[in-house]
């Protein structure tokens, strides 16, 4: 199996940390390049039976300049073409306007979307279930997966769930 995966989410939710954990240190440098309209391969994870190609999708946030609208269209087209979208949010901060904005962009996209709740090491375990319940109402996510990219909690399980969609 092989497939393309796009990780999207506001700055600082932990996208690079996640990629570093699953692929390795190299990609940190690549993913910190300034935005371009071109989609970049951020890293490739090769497992025994599966290959996952992670694609950077710049521009999927509120446009701040004229190029923004164009980049948004590029980003939306990319999201239509990948096999799976990982929408990453910060467990501590939850759904803000940035997230709502990205969710609106999903309306024209049929690609399966996982909600990845990152930084669960920063919240009390009792807070997690209510959080998951509140996210279920936002969008018909295929999976809602809590992780800690930093500490590695549940990351293996997320990879297993990704495999199912490739």
Q: Which residues bind Mg ion (CB under 5 A)?
A: 15-16, 31
Binding partner of residue 150 among Mg ion, ligand GDP, none, CB under 5 to 8 Å per kind?
A: ligand GDP
Stretch that binds ligand GDP, among 9-17, 40-48, 54-62, 123-131 (CB under 6 A): 9-17
C-alpha to C-alpha distance for 90 and 81, rounded to whole angstroms: 25
61: number of Cβ within 10 Å: 19
Q: How far is the CB of 26 from Mg ion (least distance, A)?
A: 14
Q: How far is the CB of 56 from ligand GDP (least distance, A)?
A: 10
Residue 4 has which token pair? 């393309």
Q: Which of 6, 16, 39, 42 binds ligand GDP (CB under 6 A)?
A: 16
Q: Which of 5, 14, 58, 115 binds ligand GDP (CB under 6 A)?
A: 14
Binding partner of residue 123 among Mg ion, ligand GDP, none, CB under 5 to 8 Å per kind?
A: none
Q: How far is the CB of 49 from ligand GDP (least distance, A)?
A: 27
Of 125-154, binders to ligand GDP (CB under 6 A) are: 148-150
Our CB check for ligand GDP shows the closer of 12 and 77 to be 12
Q: How far is the CB of 36 from ligand GDP (least distance, A)?
A: 16
Query: What are the strands of the beta sheet with 113-118, ordered from one edge?
Result: 40-46, 51-56, 2-8, 84-90, 113-118, 143-146
Q: What residue ranges bind ligand GDP (CB under 6 A)?
A: 9, 11-17, 118-119, 121-122, 148-150
């Amino acid at each position: 199996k092989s497939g393309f995966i796009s990780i999207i989410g506001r700055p600082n939710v932990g996208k690079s940390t996640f990629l570093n954990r699953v692929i390795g240190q190299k990609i940190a440098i690549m993913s910190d390049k300034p935005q371009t309209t071109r989609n970049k391969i951020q890293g490739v994870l090769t497992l025994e039976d599966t290959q996952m190609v992670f694609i950077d999708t710049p521009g999927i946030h509120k446009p701040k300049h004229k190029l923004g609208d164009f980049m948004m269209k590029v980003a939306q087209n990319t999201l239509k073409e990948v096999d799976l979208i990982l929408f990453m949010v910060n467990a501590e901060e939850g759904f803000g306007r940035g997230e709502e904005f990205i969710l609106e962009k999903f309306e024209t996209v049929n690609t399966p979307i996982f909600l990845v709740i990152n930084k669960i090491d920063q919240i009390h375990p009792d807070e997690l279930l209510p959080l998951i319940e509140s996210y279920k109402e936002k969008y018909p996510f295929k999976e809602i997966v809590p992780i800690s990219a930093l500490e590695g909690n549940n990351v293996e399980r997320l990879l297993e769930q990704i495999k199912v969609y490739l």
